[in-house]
A and B are shown apart, each in its own frame.
Chain A
Amino acid sequence: AQTVTQSQPEMSVQEAETVTLSCTYDTSENNYYLFWYKQPPSRQMILVIRQEAYKQQNATENRFSVNFQKAAKSFSLKISDSQLGDTAMYFCAFSSATSGTYKYIFGTGTRLKVLA
């Protein structure tokens, strides 16, 4: 069975600094997708970035980028120029076509606090 591990329950970063959130996963499949979601206090899940396993190039979305190491099964999220609005829970998620349905498996989350 696939598993997703986020080993950092809480992190803090100064505004404008850079922070990296870690995520590791375990799977025997070769084709899958990885996601980082943000859940602010409103509790609305917001997609931050996604990565297809078949793509070697790391995904980037403005201030957010990932370091995808397929062999190591690692998928870390780097937030550059941190802003107060980045304060939220961040969940790493794994998805593959299991029984024809792309179910998500979420990590336990990292609570990020950006300090003014």
Chain B
Amino acid sequence: GAVVSQHPSWVICKSGTSVKIECRSLDFQATTMFWYRQFPKQSLMLMATSNEGSKATYEQGVEKDKFLINHASLTLSTLTVTSAHPEDSSFYICSASLSSYNEQFFGPGTRLTVL
């Protein structure tokens, strides 16, 4: 149990376009989802926390207008990278947790390359 999927697993886009990444909890309802960014050979950096039906809470230094997060249901959260630039190229990971249990279950990640 506790499986989290991400789609797509990798994406290449042109500079200036927008890209949407989906994160789904497949076998449980996740009231809270998290989005991370990971640069090569570095740790995971929390970008934002999203709760179903409410606005996401962004970490300091993360541009909320550039990284749009929507958590429309208990099983789906989306991250949209707007007007992507090469510096947005990275590995993006989502995770999900149950409200009464703090463990996070991680998706397999999405590799974004902006040309």
Contacts and interface: CB of A to CB of B under 8 A. Distances in A.
A64 interface: no
B46 interface: yes
B102 A44 contact: no
Interface stretch (A13-21, A54-62, A73-81, A96-104): A96-104
A107 B32 CA distance: 22
Interface string B38-75: 10011110100101000001000000000000000000
A33 B34 CA distance: 17
Contacts of A104: 34, 44, 46, 95, 104
A42 B43 contact: no
A44 B49 contact: no
Contacts of A35: 103
B: interface residue count bin: 20 to 34
The B interface is mostly helix, strand or loop, or mixed, namely strand
Contacts of B42: 108-109
B93 A45 contact: yes
Interface of A is mostly: strand
Contacts of B109: 43-44
A103 B46 contact: yes
A50 interface: yes
Interface of B: 32, 34, 38, 41-44, 46, 49, 51, 57, 91, 93, 95, 97, 102-104, 106, 108-109
3 tightest A-B CB contacts, nearest first:
A102-B102, A45-B106, A106-B43
